Chains A and B, each alone.
Chain A
Amino acid sequence: GIQVEQSPPDLILQEGANSTLRCNFSDSVNNLQWFHQNPWGQLINLFYIPSGTKQNGRLSATTVATERYSLLYISSSQTTDSGVYFCAVPMDSSYKLIFGSGTRLLVRP
């Protein structure tokens, strides 16, 4: 089945810094989603981005489907950005989303 790898596994930033999170996947996909799990455990869908670039405030995401990777950019990080970021892709164009193991981000004030 499809493999999803995220890097780095852990990241510590000072407030105001920028960062890039990466998601590599082993097979072609028609769907890629980024999620943020905040310290209270809530899972929020950030982006649905099968290809191209999208922006939402200080966050943006780019998926290069032909090269099988996606990047999540966080600019001017804030303490509220702390948590775990997951990317997920479907297995075999099915309903089954496979999640990466996540990037744990800590933003210090």
Chain B
Amino acid sequence: DTAVSQTPKYLVTQMGNDKSIKCEQNLGHDTMYWYKQDSKKFLKIMFSYNNKELIINETVPNRFSPKSPDKAHLNLHINSLELGDSAVYFCASSQANRGQLFFGSGTQLSVL
């Protein structure tokens, strides 16, 4: 049983398209996150939800919109994709703000 699973693993798309990445965790955690890893491996938080409430919203373009239908799921929708959006996007979960962080396997997004 995968603890944090995200799909798809690879996403190749054209500029201007809209795409979604889905994430699910079966750890019973109350907090979920989206992180972005750039080509230099730098990891930066984008969003966080605690019990379906948005608690972290970093300086991310409005084209990125997270949605949490319940505390086990957190999806990321990206509108009007741009070349600069190419990166690896990781979903993660933890129990509140003091718990260990567990990552999904990542989604490598390539915008052509």
Contacts and interface: CB of A to CB of B under 8 A. Distances in A.
Interface of A: 30-31, 33, 35, 37, 41-45, 48, 84, 86, 88, 90, 93-97, 99, 101-102, 104
B100 to A, nearest CB: 4
A102 B97 contact: no
Given A90-B97, A95-B56, 13 more contacts: A33-B101, A42-B103, A45-B101, A45-B102, A45-B103, A94-B97, A95-B31, A95-B33, A95-B48, A95-B96, A96-B56, A101-B42, A104-B41
Given A86-B43, A88-B101, A90-B97, A96 B48 contact: yes
B21 to A, nearest CB: 15
Of the four ranges (under 10, 10 to 19, 20 to 34, 35 or more), the interface on chain B belongs to 20 to 34
B34 interface: no
A99 B42 contact: yes
Contact of A30 (B45, B88, B94, B98): B98
Interface string B77-112: 000000000001010001011111111011010000
Contact of A95 (B97, B105, B106, B108): B97
Contacts of B55: 95
B109 to A, nearest CB: 13
A48 B102 CA distance: 11
B60 to A, nearest CB: 13
Nearest to A37: B41
